[in-house]
Amino acid sequence: MPHPLYHAGPSIFLGLAFRKWIDLPVFLLANVVVDIELFLFKGWPSHGYFHTLLVGGAVGAVWGLAAYPFRGFFGKVMRLIGLPYETGFWKMVLSGILGLWLHVFIDSIYHWDVRLFWPNMRDRLYRHHWLTKGEVKIAGIVFLIAAIILYISDVKAHMKEGRGNRGE
C-alpha cells in the first residue's frame, strides 16, 4: 500500500465530487478495509485476493452491507464536518465496491504483486509503468489539495443553503 495520503487524495476528491451517487464515509473507509488483508493473511505476496477486482468487489459489497446499520452514525459525522448526508442501502453497497476498487487500482500501479484481473494471471498494471512511483505520489498530493478546495467549497455552499432555509 502506498502511503495512505496517496490513497486519501483521490478517494476524498472523488467521494466529494460524486457525493450525490457515492456514500462518502463508506467509500473512504473501503480504502482502509481492503488493507485488513495485509494483517490477516501475512505472507508473500503481501497483496492477495482482496486486491483483485473480482474478490475485492465482493469484499467491498460486504463492507457496504456491514456499514448499513451505521448510517445514522455516519450522518452525524457528516453533519459534524459540515456536509449533508443522504444514503441508502444500494448506494452504500456500491460505494463499498467502488472505494475498494479505487484502492486496488492505485495499488496495482504502485505494487508489482497486485493481480488486478485475477484469475487472469498474465496481465498486471504495474508491469506497464503507466506512472512512476513518484508520479503516483505527486498525483495523490494534487488530488488531496483539490479535495481540500472542493471540501471548503461544499461546506460554504451547504452553510449558505442552510442560512437561506432559515430566512436569514
**Could you tell me if residue 164 is inside a domain?**
no
Gap between the Cα atoms of 140 and 22, Å rounded: 20
How many domains in the chain?
1
Mean pLDDT computed over 17-38: 87
pLDDT (0 to 100) of residue 88: 95
Decide if 83 is inside a domain.
yes
**pLDDT for 131 beyond 50:** yes
Asked whether residue 165 is assigned to any structural domain, the reply reads no
Q: Residue 66: what pLDDT? A: 97
**Assigned domain for 78 exists:** yes
Report the C-alpha gap between 168 and 107 in whole angstroms. Answer: 48
Residue of 81 and 161 predicted with greater confidence? 81
Per-residue pLDDT band at 22 (split at 50, 70, 90)? very high
Q: What is the pLDDT of residues 90-107, one digit of tens each?
A: 999 999 999 998 888 887
- Mean pLDDT, rounded, for 102-116: 76
Convert the pLDDT of each residue in 33-90 to its tens digit: 877 766 666 665 566 666 788 888 999 999 999 999 999 999 999 999 999 999 999 9
